[in-house]
Amino acid sequence: MATTKMCKRPSAAWLFLFGAGMDMGSDPLFFPRGPLCPALRLHLQLRRLLLRHRQQPRRVRRQLRLRPPQRLGLPLVPPSLAHNGSFRRGANFAVGSATALDAAFFHGGKFPLNVSLGVQLQWFESLKPSLCRTTKECKAFFGRSLFFVGEFGVNDYDFCFLTKSVQEIMPLVPDVIRTISTAIERLIKHGATNFVVPGTIPSGCAPPVLALFPDAAPAEYNSTTGCLEDINKLGMHHNLLLQDALDKLRGRHPEAMIVYADLFGPIMDMVESPGKYGFEEDVLTICCGGPGTLFCGDEGANLCEKPAARLFWDGVHLTEAAYRYIADVWLDSIDSPARESRTFWTKKHWTQLKADTANEMGAWKLQDKTLKESR
């Protein structure tokens, strides 16, 4: 579904964030130099902007601000690892490049990116005794809090792109969804009842992902958008399974408000119809970064004249204008719970999408079976 479902407007007074920081609200980390895989190295290099943004000109810094909590009357919360931080109004556990699956899945030995969903939950549980003590007190405290769980999944799949095909990554999706679902139930046991769970983005349109596949065949691209279709189908599959999992959670926990927040639909609508949002037609061109290997934040890197006319900021993140459109859709549905949020893709579009994805999965499974039998 392309709309954001909301049963009632939350009366949350505290905010807790988990995720990979698609809204630029995550904690930046410094990583040691070492033999990292190219896909991971690309992500880390692109996210160096997070470490430098306070030194950038004002017009650069403005693109790093997305503060929808203020519209809900919620506080801007500090990073969970902040020294001497006050967490009585909530905390931000999200970290750039975080995955849903544990780091051990991606690397047999010591892995520098130990910021998975499981690790973030451990940070939350370590902080919990300073927020409430008894079961009753915690249920009251977390019951009036709003929990953002995600976005998760993009990094899990992106880290696999250079070593696995989309067909080989597809079986990973249920594990990612199961991890997210289990995390939500774990938070419910602590007393949480209000959740927003974002889906994943159309990674096949993301400039860094497109750059990873310079030799892709013309047939692999959507002729209208220029996006890599199979990679987008991976995101579609993730979002469909996530929505199914959230439906099951609602059935098991009717006392909880669990909202699915659509990222895929709004971004695809901006890619397909950039003029409708005031974006330039070369919508997949980034605003900040280049030429060549220069990343956004590097000395001499390009910066577009009109950031508000671009969809992508640095390739990994969107511009403030794009995030505002998405945030407004989510927040409008909270402000007017009786009215569905704006629909970007029609029901027919999503129904066809689900059928196409199911057909692709069936075809890929048949190919894998044939390949195994031929060996």
DSSP-assigned letter for residue 153: S
Length of the chain: 375
In DSSP notation, 193-260 reads -EEEEE----GGG-HHHHHH-TT--GGGB-TTT--BHHHHHHHHHHHHHHHHHHHHHHHH-TTSEEEE
pLDDT range class, residue 105, cuts 50, 70, 90: confident
Structure confidence at residue 119 (pLDDT) = 95
Q: How confident is the model at residue 48 (pLDDT cuts 50, 70, 90)?
A: very low
Residues 54-60, mean pLDDT to the nearest whole number? 40
pLDDT of residue 74 exceeding 80: no
- Is the model more confident about 337 or about 103? 103
Give domain status of residue 204, yes or no: yes
pLDDT at residue 361, as a whole number: 56
The confidence band for 295, taking pLDDT boundaries of 50, 70 and 90, is confident
Q: Is the pLDDT of residue 41 over 70?
A: no
Coil, strand or helix at 58: helix
With a cut of 70, say whether residue 146 has pLDDT above it.
yes
Q: What is the mean pLDDT of residues 88-110?
A: 84
pLDDT tens digit string along 243-260? Answer: 999 999 999 999 999 989
Does residue 73 form part of some domain? yes
| Per-residue pLDDT at 294 exceeds 70 | yes
Mean pLDDT along residues 213-232: 96
Percent of the chain clearing pLDDT 70 (strictly above):
68
Neighbours of 238 (CB within 10 A): 27
Look at residue 181 in the predicted model and tell me its pLDDT.
98
Q: Is 41 helix (H, G, I), strand (E, B) or coil?
A: helix
Predicted local confidence at residue 136, as pLDDT: 95
pLDDT of residue 153 exceeding 60, the answer is yes
Q: Is the pLDDT of residue 66 over 50?
A: no
pLDDT, mean of residues 261-278: 94
Please state, in angstroms and rounded to a whole number, the distance separating the CA atoms of residues 103 and 105: 5
Q: Supply φ then ψ for residue 197, to 5 degrees.
A: -125, 100
> Given pLDDT bands bounded at 50, 70 and 90, which one contains residue 374?
low
Least confident of 109-113, 160-164, 193-197, 248-252: 109-113
Question: Is residue 94 assigned to a domain?
Answer: yes
ω into residue 151 within 30 of 0, thus cis?
yes
Residue with more model confidence, 354 or 140: 140
- Residue 71 — very low, low, confident or very high, per pLDDT cuts 50/70/90? low
Cα 50 to Cα 184, 264, 285, 298: the distances in Å are 28, 24, 20, 12
More confident residue, 71 or 80: 80
* Whole-number Å distance between alpha carbons of 310 and 205: 14
Residue 58: predicted pLDDT: 41
What is the number of structural domains in the chain?
A: 1
Q: Is 311 exposed, middle or buried, given 0-12, 13-18 or 19+ CB atoms closer than 10 A? A: buried
Residue 232 lies in a domain: yes
Contact predicate 31/44, CB 8 Å: yes
- For residue 59, what are the domain limits? 14-279+324-346
Contact 270, 240 (CB under 8 A): no
Residue 214 has, within 13 A of its CA and on its CB side, a CA count of 1
Domain assignment present for residue 307? The answer is: no
Q: Is the pLDDT at 328 greater than 90, yes or no?
A: no
Q: Is the pLDDT of residue 211 over 70?
A: yes
Token pair 């009717």: residue: 254
356 assigned to some structural domain: no
pLDDT confidence of residue 86: 73
DSSP 372: H
